[in-house]
Amino acid sequence: MARILSIGTAVPPYTYNQAEIRDFSKQLFQDTFPHIDRLLSIFENTAIEQRYFSRPREWYEEDRSFKERNQIYIEMACQLGEQAIQRCLESTGIQPHEIDHFLFVSTTGLATPSIDAHLINRLKMKPHVKRTPIWGLGCAGGVAGLARAYEYVQAFPTQRVLLLTLELCGLTFRRDDRSKSNLVATSLFADGAAAVLVTGSKSNPYFGPRIVTTKSIIWPESMDVMGWELEDDGLKVIFSRDIPTLVRKQMRPIVDEFLEEINLQLGDIQYVISHPGGRKVLEAYQEALGISRDPLTHAYSVLRDYGNMSSATVFFVLERELQESHPYGSYGLVTALGPGFSSELALLCWDEEVACHV
């Protein structure tokens, strides 16, 4: 049995509202697109009000090398990762040196030694802590990391797993990329980090939602839907306009199959903790699953307040969900989409194991 004990989040210091970013984008893209004002309506349609970034606006107005971007990524990843971990652990009484396995998820920068090694030193974790860095899963990485934590404590129930998801999407912005994909990305993405503490049945003195089961799906021949291409000056975004359509067509059968495997139906799910990839994606979830906006309230509010922080965003949503009270035995569906094109699902139960009919 695996439980989520706590979540801690962190964002960088520079905050910009959507109108400011829209003005910045207009100046950049207006020579490329004659009808720029029409295209800029995407900024209003995202349902985002503000976002956080690792650098001030003027930094993005100059060309930057991949080396410069990546060095800033390492520095900021260590700062934000430490903050998120400390906030995650402070309410539990568990110290960094008591962590047994450290999972680190990211896609927006590179480091060897990986960021988890940097943080093990900064936080003075025990030298024999196990660590697993996971790279390249994009927005799906948070739920995928949660699944790996679940599997680990199922096998080792006395262990404590710390999962850190961290993305600095703003640092991947390339001002010379004047594609529509980059314009869309500029309207959505931001920076943030989230840490999650997952424990096994023999190491858990606290109450938290139980992770019931997880599932991964990758659609064949869909690698061009979402991802990055490595260019000389950084990562070039790949972002298909077909993502909401794929959600509408594909998600309901996958969710039904996932729940049927454990003798549940969609009607048994009270909460949907979805990665808010964008307003259109959330609306596509509503249509596909036949649900109202209410189960996605926290997803919409996180999108409004932070934008899309890739893999970390779903835990900003879950953090808000954990602040609510939940009826005994209620279920929550955690979901995210990512490169591949792929889907990650996890089922939570707010209850002791005996009360859930799984």
Q: Is-catalytic flag, 169?
A: no
Longest dimension (CA), the chain: 63
Q: CA nearest 291: which of 317, 271, 275, 276?
A: 271
End-to-end CA distance of the chain: 12
Identified catalytic residue from 88, 139, 349, 356: 139
Within 10 Å of residue 155's Cβ, how many Cβ atoms?
9
Say which residues have a Cβ less than 8 Å from residue 242's Cβ, sequence separation at least 6.
225
For the record, the structure tokens of 316 come out as 């900003």
Active site residues: 139
